[in-house]
A and B are shown apart, each in its own frame.
Chain A
Amino acid sequence: MAIGLHDSTFTNPVIRWIDQRMPVFTMMQKEYGTFPTPRNFNYFWNFGALAMVTLMIMIATGIFLAMNYTPHTAYAFDSVERIMRDVNYGWLIRYVHMNGASMFFIVVYIHIWRGLYYGSYKAPRELLWILGVVIFLLMMATAFMGYVLPWGQMSFWGATVITNLFSAFPIVGEHIVTWLWGGFSVDNPTLNRFFSLHYLMPFVIAGVVFLHVAALHITGSNNPLGIDPKGPQDTLPFHPYYTVKDSVGLVVYFIVFAALVFFAPNYLGHPDNYIPANPLVTPAHIVPEWYFLPFYAILRAVPDKLGGVLLMFGSIAVLFILPWLDTSPVRSMRFRPIAKWALFAWLIAFFALMWAGGKPAEQPYVLISQIATAYYFAYFLIILPLLGRLERPLSLPESIALPVLRGGGPLPAGAVAKPMEKA
Chain B
Amino acid sequence: MTVSLRGFRNLLGALAIGAATVLGTAPAQAAGEAIALPDTRFSFAGFFGTYDRGSLQRGFQVYKEVCAACHAMRQLSYRNLLEIGLSEAQVRAIAASFQVVDGPNDQGEMFERPARLSDRFRRPFPNEAAARAANNGAYPPDLSVMTKARHNGAVYVHALLTGYQDPPAGFTLMDGMNYNAYFPGHQIAMPNVLNPGQVEYADRTESTVDQMARDVTTFLAWAAEPEAEQRRAMGIRIILFLIILGGLTYAVKRKVWADVKH
Contacts and interface: CB of A to CB of B under 8 A. Distances in A.
Interface in A267-285: 271-272, 274-276, 278, 281, 283-285
Contact of B238 (A247, A258, A283): A258
Given A247-B249, A283-B28, A285-B29, A241 B239 contact: no
Interface stretch (B104-112, B213-221, B252-260): B252-260
B43 interface: no
B148 A262 contact: no
Contacts of B184: 284
Interface string B147-172: 01111010000000000000000000
A259 interface: yes
Contact of B149 (A92, A263, A271): A271
B248 to A, nearest CB: 9
Contacts of A284: 27-30, 184
Given A40-B262, A85-B80, A274-B224, 12 more contacts: A39-B262, A81-B144, A91-B227, A95-B231, A247-B249, A248-B253, A255-B246, A258-B238, A262-B234, A262-B238, A274-B145, A284-B184
Interface string A244-269: 11011001101100110111011000
B98 interface: no
Interface residues of B, number: 44
Nearest to A259: B239
Contact of B246 (A252, A259, A272, A285): A252
Given A85-B226, A262-B235, A266-B148, A255 B249 contact: no
A252 B238 CA distance: 12
Contacts of B80: 85
B173 interface: no
A251 B261 contact: no
Contacts of B245: 251
B151 to A, nearest CB: 6
Contacts of A265: 231
Contacts of A39: 260, 262
Interface in A68-85: 78, 81-82, 84-85
A97 B243 CA distance: 22
B234 to A, nearest CB: 6
Contacts, number: 96
Contacts of B94: none
A337 interface: no
Contact of A275 (B24, B75, B234): B24
A161 interface: no
A147 B236 CA distance: 28
Interface of B: 22, 24-25, 27-30, 47, 74-75, 80, 141-142, 144-145, 148-151, 153, 184, 224, 226-227, 231-232, 234-236, 238-239, 242-243, 245-246, 249-250, 252-253, 256-257, 260-262
Contact of B150 (A81, A241, A271): A271
Contacts of A254: 242
Nearest to A252: B246
A263 B148 CA distance: 14
Pick the 3 closest A-B CB pairs, nearest first.
Answer: A262-B235, A274-B149, A251-B246
A49 interface: no
A3 interface: no
Contact of B242 (A240, A258, A275): A258
A404 interface: yes
A364 to B, nearest CB: 14
A248 B245 CA distance: 9
A2 interface: no
Contacts of B257: 241, 244-245
Contacts of A241: 256-257, 260
A265 B145 CA distance: 14
A371 interface: no
Given A252-B246, A271-B149, A274-B148, A92 B261 contact: no
A43 B104 CA distance: 65
